[in-house]
């Protein structure tokens, strides 16, 4: 049985806008949530319910602050020791100002370094072009090896005599 879909509120739309502004971010389904990913790695999950919405992301540096928030308000902040955080807001409640930092931190932690480095002004690393040797050069090196091998065999044969 498919779960009922609820219309997005303005806060979920602002989270989408924030996530999609990150380098190569894409949006797709994940169970009954929306998953935001880059480089085939999910960094943010957002789910809508009838009277609330849920945000899931991973943090490291902000973990102590979120654990404090979780102790104060365990209904809103569910924090695991591994850094995954589940934040539940009522539909009329805007995410805290720190949400932008947490989404960016989650992006940095979970996406490939080639993408997260772009947040610091770096560009995606360019793949190095591999120069192929011309066919004539390959043949010469094969011939050289064969000549060397024969010379080694001749020396070994002389030593045995």
140/75 same-domain check? no
pLDDT at residue 161, rounded to an integer? 65
Same domain, yes or no, for 78 and 136? no
142 and 92 part of one domain: no
| Three-class secondary structure of residue 39 per DSSP | coil
Q: Quote the pLDDT of residue 141.
A: 67
Q: 44 and 69: one domain?
A: yes
Is 157 domain-assigned? yes
The alpha carbon of residue 88 and the mean position of all alpha carbons in its chain are separated, in whole angstroms, by: 23
38, 25 Cβ separation under 8 angstroms: yes
Q: Does 1 map to a domain?
A: no
* Full-model pTM: 0.70
Burial of 20 (0-12, 13-18, 19+ CB in 10 A): exposed
What is the residue range of 148's domain?
Answer: 131-161
Asked if the structure places residue 4 within a domain, the reply is no
CATH number at 72 reads 3.90.1150.30
C-alpha atoms less than 13 angstroms from C-alpha of 92 in its C-beta half-sphere = 0
Are residue 50 and residue 75 in the same domain, yes or no? yes
- In tens digits, the chain (161 residues) has pLDDT values of 456 666 778 888 889 999 999 999 999 888 878 999 999 999 999 998 888 999 999 999 999 999 999 999 989 999 998 899 999 998 888 887 889 999 999 999 999 988 888 887 765 555 454 555 565 555 666 677 777 778 777 777 777 76
Is 126 domain-assigned?
A: no
Residues 14 and 46 in one domain: yes
> What's the Cα-to-Cα distance from 2 to each of 5, 33, 56, rounded to whole Å?
9, 12, 21
Please indicate, yes or no, if residue 153 is contained in any of the structural domains.
yes
Q: Quick one: 115 and 137 in the same domain?
A: no
């Amino acid at each position: 049985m498919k779960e009922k879909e609820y219309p997005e509120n303005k806060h979920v739309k602002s989270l989408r806008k924030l996530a999609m502004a990150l380098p190569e971010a894409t949006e797709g389904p994940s169970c009954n949530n929306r998953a935001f990913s880059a480089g085939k790695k999910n960094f943010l999950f957002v789910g809508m319910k009838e009277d609330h919405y849920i945000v899931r992301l991973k943090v490291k540096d902000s973990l102590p602050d979120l654990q404090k928030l979780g102790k104060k308000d365990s209904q809103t902040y569910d924090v695991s020791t591994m850094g995954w955080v589940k934040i539940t807001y009522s539909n009329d409640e805007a995410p805290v100002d720190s949400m932008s930092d947490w989404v960016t931190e989650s992006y940095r932690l979970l996406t490939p370094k080639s993408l997260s480095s772009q947040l610091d002004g770096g560009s995606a690393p360019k793949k190095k072009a591999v120069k192929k040797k011309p066919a004539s050069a390959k043949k010469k090196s094969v011939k050289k090896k064969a000549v060397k091998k024969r010379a080694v065999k001749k020396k070994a044969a002389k030593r045995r005599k």
